[in-house]
A and B are shown apart, each in its own frame.
Chain A
């Protein structure tokens, strides 16, 4: 049994007129490897083989190299599975599955018009990965266009080959193939064997864009095998015929079939599950079929029906046999494509309705710009409601609510204050993309019997283990940063090499840099950039991670070579940690993704218009339900009058024979036969077959034409150009959104004959094909009715104008650039500017590029509304949402991020990845040779595996002239937009124009210029963003450390989200009645309190502490520098001791004022008595810093004058990256980034106050608190933007927090998503519950027999009475004394404290 994967096939007709006048204006091939300069063809100084000649980006507007020939062009869209890549654990380049490399194309052709001619069937095989040094002629001697690939033909110096060929099916002999002629015989730049993927040698657009993959995932039918047709179509003769194409695809080497291994994985998983059930003594609930279904769903996103998968079990319930599908067969048809060339020789199939340029369509659109699709969608909806823009606040709120709806935050937005804050943060964060931040090791306690690793609990470790773990994680971090730095350095080296190759081999002259100087800069025997990069590589090393096959988690590392590299240091620490964990067999060490780095997303443009069709060739759901072999339709049940007939497809004449050499022959044959039950152009053949059956009341015998017409009506899917009446048949039924797939679909037709057709098979388990794989010619919404050929947008060519931020420094940025112009919005989490501020260059630059349209299903507001209503069926807003949903259901909306915009700001551009080689100068080019050798020197750490050759510098031109902008900000407008379709057809998108000629676009809420800025009304405001992967290094410091573990000399940074030890250094319990702050040590034991007595600050030891009758602070906590309690708690107490009463009064007021702003939503579950009694504050310490990935800054590549960074770097021999950063990073490292700590608007934020730590024994000065009294001058102040400012990659600042431990602390930078830091409950709850609390009591009556205090029973606590200067006296709870007894007088009056301290729990 096999899985039949629906394959979407599109057919484009090109007639002679189109060929002459139209297709020349299409976009063409983007990869032209055949044009690469090489010796001996290319002489020195004629160009270098660095890659700029091999790429013709879409935005270049060049005419196509191979315009579409006359005939029909087929392109099939690879199923989604083949297009999803995965990244290995060590961060190397993404790998893709083997794509199908053999395609069988069957064509059924009949002349048409009033009657159909005889059926002519022909089949070909497309060998996608066949390589040839020259273009090949096919059996009809037609030279077919083929795509070129950058591989050197064996035995020659030609650095390119052509890939893909077409063989007639009847002559195809897979057994006779010469393996050397196919792609797997070649190796890539990294030395690994190559194979065909969805990205080819081009990139993500490869498989979707016919000009780039025409000979691989496409087929040109030139009809030369049918001379009459050929003559008609090439000579513009009047002719009409129709064709149906059926395409099958498979991976020829079955080892790489997607389903290979899935069955084995399912059996393995099922048997493990059975064993586990036996071990836990629970019943086996799942079947092997269920497990297979879930494995296939997980790995392939293909949904199978478990009921269709047979299996047998052994007596021990393990799998005996599992009849799951063994291979995947892609299959699709495009039926009834009509070629209707009338008698008018001027008629076209593809001409646009634009008289001036018939090659290009135009589309009227509405545009919106946002950071994300959701934002842009909200903006465009708002715009629709209020095109004039005068709608004011109400509409702004509407947009805001739409954002909330789309981010799933709408519910209770007006009720829960945290929702507004989290929405704001979610909106802001969605404007960034995550980049891998390396690994962090954690110790977990696996859940017993748990399958999901996510449910494992991270554990709090003993101090020595926590320290060991910290050593490991710091080593891992150094290594991860080292690797990231290495990639950056290698990329820079590659970019520098490109410059060199162009000069040395290509003959370009650079007025600012001499070739020899550059050669020396790149590589010399002792120094040079290459040596620096190689040394950095040696110093870093590389780790090979071991993964868990089930969870894909990293569970181990292999020992790397050497002992000194960063990788080796990780291994040493890993080995030490593993050894230290040996006594704890239930704990496991795992690597998790570390905190990610963030990059701002490229702006997203949203286009809405009649002609903008979302790309949904593979459906919208993301998962697929393939049919199985047994489910192919093979029979037609016919109920006519009182008779029933069964027509087997095999009885129909004309079904092509499938050779036994064809893999999955039976399935291919069955599908080929199925077409004869589905395609209207073949219906008369089915009718004839039925008539041949004879029998009483046989409708085909009675009325052959009537039966044929009835069958066509039941089939559906006729071409609008056809004489057949278009109908609502099975073809249309399966496209109905309400259609629920079911076996044996039935279509009842009333005219011309009343017949009930059942599409089924011999096993009565026939399923209609998926609409993805069953297409037909049809009209296009928004296009003229005559247009029936597809227009399938795949790429967007964009041009954006940016009036960019003007740096304030002499050679780049100044430290105060950010704060001078922008301010963090007090109402938000991003930067705003003041209306009068002029911070841009006052001259817009145009950036352009092209981008493959996102293949994700376009964001659907209506789906979101449906989801919302499903979740909240009784929400009173549902009817309103229904109205919105209905209004937008039919709209065509496409959104796309303008990729490449950000990267161009840092003066680089994506290029096709080509190896480092000099094909022109060859061996004479020692520099290239040295770099190429170094790149391949280490098989484990091959530079090509890490994409070091993906970017090229933008060194000259307008963009490079003082426009290096790693701190992106400014005002942007859309200059032009056009869409390129799968066949190269183009469509310019048009809107009403702004005064400066740019397209009108509505900016989203987050990108709207501020109110009152009339100069930029038509633009989108881009708030400041760092164009280098950056993260906020915001982590707890351990509360204590010891020196037992090598490598630990001070409190260590907790790198995982769950700190390994508690970060709480001490506790403070405020008493506002007495105006005192009571201090506790980290473990909750009481120390003493500070209060105001007679206007002065007074320390009092804890009640009952007889050892310190004089209330000496030093006695309780030790002298400064020699603490007896947690050193940081002591430091803070000494700090407080040094303040005055006014400070304490302000602090008390601040703590009190903070109270309403802190109300953690999770507090109910962390209820403890101390929280009930007071609100204990924890003293915690954290580091906060801004770090870039690899710790490096982007370099300017500019080379427009001798003072530019590139010539300067060469002149100063700054080949070391860090040295070069000083010259070429535009002083980005000097820019101060303010950080806002805490968030009053967020009741889930627990910050009360913070102190920035200095050095020495008295590290504290001012205490900053957002809720401090305004204008306070006594040392407790509100933070300002200048309070905490960070620079990139500087040493992190240590901050001491006073916080409510039940809530997180938020750090807002604007340039990064808001970061939160919290203490896990298990690390504070116990201590919080242990806090001893003394209530001062004055006065209380004491009996003659002794004091008796009425105290309630508190389970887990004990009471005692403390009189001044006396030891605590235990008090029994519930000893109320309400009974009348005698002998108690006379009574005395007492003062003192009752103390509640933890004790044994009372059941």
Chain B
């Protein structure tokens, strides 16, 4: 009689296939992968999308108005969360014997999670239309910001730096922002998740908020007092090249405001004042731009001790 392909062998083969993930891997060399939709869904879950807020902040008092709370994300908790999501098709057993679906999970789920992890970088990239960053998801940190700023400046941004690579250091590294969004349409609470150990977070106005501005302005009973630190410069008459003094010089602009409308700057006057300071006469538009442009506002949060 034949020896292979018998029923006993078959039955044993079926039974052993589901005995442990390694045996299953032998008969299922390329286990099924997640579909793109599922992959995105689980990646979002890993970024806490769909997690009720009250799970993250069990009591309102833990995030009072005008507060910021930094945190580490427990990746075990995230793994459990994703696992829970995938457990809907699982028939687990309380006994020591793993059920076939558990064995299948043991083989399939780690790969699926890995797949989903890789996809977490795509979520924000897709929102902002940027290239997909590569993420490690070893350590995820972040903060919750509850402030009126959040509501008033819906477009504020953030730069997050690890320890030793901030703009104050010789090399700068930006951590990948995984999630940066307000929690709700007109919410005052914002969540930030970054891939890596955050040391310093610069929360800033939106980059598009570049504007002309002055440093100081006061109106005391119609008396305007205004000044701006400008940079003196020299102009090479042959090449038109401009050399600026890196140090600013305070320039009083108090006279450049309209008397009847004291918040309106007479730009031509101001330009003349600036030009005169450097002895350059009339300014061209580029030079005015250099002198008048103000950057966005930045609030810098730094972790006090680097563990």
Which residues in A have some Cβ–Cβ distance to B below 8 Å?
393, 396-397, 399-400, 413-414, 417, 420-421, 424, 826-828, 1005, 1008, 1010-1011, 1070-1075, 1149, 1152, 1155-1157, 1172-1175, 1239-1241, 1243, 1341, 1343, 1348, 1350, 1376-1387
Contact = CB atoms under 8 A, between A and B. Distances in A.
B187 A1380 contact: yes
Given A828-B7, A1341-B55, A1072 B99 contact: yes
Contact of A1172 (B7, B89, B184): B89
A1170 to B, nearest CB: 11
Nearest to A423: B5
A480 B146 CA distance: 85
Nearest to B93: A1072
A1240 B91 contact: no
Closest 9 CB pairs of A and B: A1379-B184, A1380-B189, A1380-B183, A1241-B7, A1072-B93, A1377-B52, A827-B6, A1156-B18, A1241-B10
B58 interface: yes
A1289 to B, nearest CB: 30
A396 B49 contact: no
B61 interface: yes
Interface string B1-22: 1111111101101110110000
Nearest to B4: A397
A446 B15 CA distance: 44
Contact of A400 (B2, B10, B54): B2
A1376 B17 CA distance: 39
Contact of B94 (A421, A1008, A1074, A1381): A1074
B60 A1382 contact: yes
Given A1243-B14, A1379-B183, A1348 B100 contact: no
B51 interface: yes
Given A1073-B93, A1156-B17, A1157-B11, A413 B5 contact: yes
Contacts of A826: 7-8
A1157 B12 CA distance: 10
Interface-centre pick from B13, B52, B88, B188 (highest chain A CB count, 10 A): B52
Nearest to B184: A1379
Contacts of A1384: 53-54, 60
Contact of B1 (A1005, A1173, A1350, A1383): A1005
Interface-centre pick from A1376, A1379, A1380 (highest chain B CB count, 10 A): A1380
Nearest to A1386: B59
A1164 B186 CA distance: 45
Contact of B54 (A414, A421, A1073, A1377): A1377
B129 interface: no
B76 interface: no
A919 B151 CA distance: 119
Contact of B59 (A1071, A1348, A1379, A1387): A1387
Given A1379-B187, A1380-B53, A417 B14 contact: yes
Contacts, number: 138
Interface-centre pick from A399, A1156, A1376, A1381 (highest chain B CB count, 10 A): A1156
Given A1074-B94, A1152-B97, A1175-B91, A397 B5 contact: yes
Contacts of A1071: 91
Contacts of A393: 2-4
7 contacts: A1005-B2, A1011-B1, A1241-B7, A1379-B185, A1380-B183, A1380-B189, A1387-B59
Main secondary structure of the interface of B (DSSP, over half): loop
B50 interface: yes
Given A397-B5, A1072-B94, A1152-B93, A1341 B58 contact: yes
B10 A420 contact: yes
Contacts of A1072: 91-95, 99
A1131 B61 CA distance: 57
Contacts of B2: 393, 396-397, 399-400, 1005
Given A1378-B53, A1385-B59, A414 B97 contact: no
Contact of A1381 (B53, B55, B92, B99): B53
Main secondary structure of the interface of A (DSSP, over half): loop
A929 B95 CA distance: 80
Contacts of A399: 2
A1379 B190 CA distance: 10
A519 B88 CA distance: 80
A20 B14 CA distance: 72
A1377 B53 contact: yes
Contacts of B92: 1072-1073
A1382 B61 CA distance: 10
B68 to A, nearest CB: 13
A544 B89 CA distance: 56
Given A1005-B1, A1387-B59, A417 B13 contact: yes
Given A1155-B99, A1381-B53, A396 B10 contact: no
Contacts of B59: 1385-1387
Nearest to A1145: B95
B17 to A, nearest CB: 7
A1269 to B, nearest CB: 10
Given A400-B5, A1377-B52, 9 more contacts: A393-B2, A400-B2, A828-B7, A1011-B1, A1075-B95, A1156-B14, A1241-B7, A1377-B53, A1386-B59
B3 A1378 contact: no
Given A1377-B52, A1381-B184, A1075 B11 contact: no
Interface in B32-63: 48-55, 57-61, 63
Interface string B68-106: 000000000000000000001101111101011100000
Contact of A417 (B10, B61, B184): B10
B99 A1152 contact: yes
B10 A421 contact: yes
A1243 B1 CA distance: 23
A424 B10 CA distance: 12
A1042 to B, nearest CB: 37
A1339 to B, nearest CB: 12
A393 B2 CA distance: 5
B1 to A, nearest CB: 6
A417 B52 CA distance: 46
A1174 B101 CA distance: 10
A1317 B58 CA distance: 56
A1377 B188 CA distance: 15
B166 to A, nearest CB: 29
B3 A397 contact: yes
B183 A1378 contact: yes
Nearest to A1070: B91
B56 to A, nearest CB: 9
A1118 B185 CA distance: 54
Nearest to A1243: B14
Nearest to A418: B10
Contacts of B48: 1378
A1350 B52 contact: yes
Interface in B172-192: 183-185, 187-189
Contacts of A1156: 14-15, 17-18, 100
Interface-centre pick from A1073, A1075, A1378 (highest chain B CB count, 10 A): A1378
A1075 B8 CA distance: 30
A337 B122 CA distance: 89
Contacts of A1348: 52
Nearest to A1169: B88
A1379 B146 CA distance: 13
Contacts of A1011: 1
A195 B91 CA distance: 71
Nearest to A403: B2
Given A396-B2, A1341-B54, A1377-B54, A827 B8 contact: yes
A1368 to B, nearest CB: 20
Contacts of A397: 2-5
Nearest to B57: A1380
B91 A396 contact: no
A1309 to B, nearest CB: 16
A1064 to B, nearest CB: 21
